[in-house]
Chain A
Amino acid sequence: DQQVKQNSPSLSVQEGRISILNCDYTNSMFDYFLWYKKYPAEGPTFLISISSIKDKNEDGRFTVFLNKSAKHLSLHIVPSQPGDSAVYFCAGVAQGAQKLVFGQGTRLTINP
């Protein structure tokens, strides 16, 4: 039962352009969503989050959008930089639950 799905295993974007990473979920009990970024040989690091009561959260070049009716969230990176090349995981968590449920990840490559 894949509660969180990232249907694009990889994405390639030109430097300076916008990167859009997508994530779908099935669990209506999720009330908090997070994006993590992972470089090779390192553990995932927290990037940005959004509560289910909001539809947008912005932090510098990173913006997360949440569409609850569609059970869809997206991460926008603009402008994209070479250092953004990494694997991005989205995750959902339900109130009172003790675990984050992660998607499979999307490998983002920023081309110069």
Chain B
Amino acid sequence: DSGVTQTPKHLITATGQRVTLRCSPRSGDLSVYWYQQSLDQGLQFLIQYYNGEERAKGNILERFSAQQFPDLHSELNLSSLELGDSALYFCASSPPGLNEKLFFGSGTQLSVL
């Protein structure tokens, strides 16, 4: 158990819909990262938050947004969903001062039908 909690584990929805993925980092970790893993793709970095502020952005679509709340949990919002958004979405957290070592949650499997 990495200590990073992601909910829900599975999500099935239809095209055009909007979903919210939730992540609780490890106790004491201030950074939260979101990654997307599509079929045959590696882990694609989406976005990072540090103590409530956006710190880095990857190839995140404009239809996607995220935030980190004062209690440090984070949400990833995906809207106007398309078939190609079907993927495994991982959240990770890292201890202060150790950005290289990420602790990953078990992921949310999103299926867009």
Q: Count of chain A residues with Cβ under 8 Å from any Cβ of B?
A: 25
Q: A101 to B45, Cβ gap below 8 A?
A: yes
Residue of A nearest to B2 (CB): A43
B27 within 8 A of A: no
B45's partner among A6, A42, A46, A100 (CB-CB below 8 A) is A100
A104 contacts which chain B residues (CB < 8 A)? Answer: 40-42
A49 contacts which chain B residues (CB < 8 A)? Answer: 100-101
Interface residues of B (CB under 8 A from A): 2, 4, 31, 33, 35, 40-45, 48, 50, 55-56, 58, 90, 92, 99-107
Interface residues of A (CB under 8 A from B): 4, 6, 9, 32, 34, 36, 41-46, 49, 89, 91, 93, 97-105
A56–B41 alpha-carbon span in the complex (Å):
28
A98 contacts which chain B residues (CB < 8 A)? Answer: 31, 48, 50, 55-56, 99
A101–B48 alpha-carbon span in the complex (Å):
13
A45's partner among B42, B99, B104 (CB-CB below 8 A) is B104
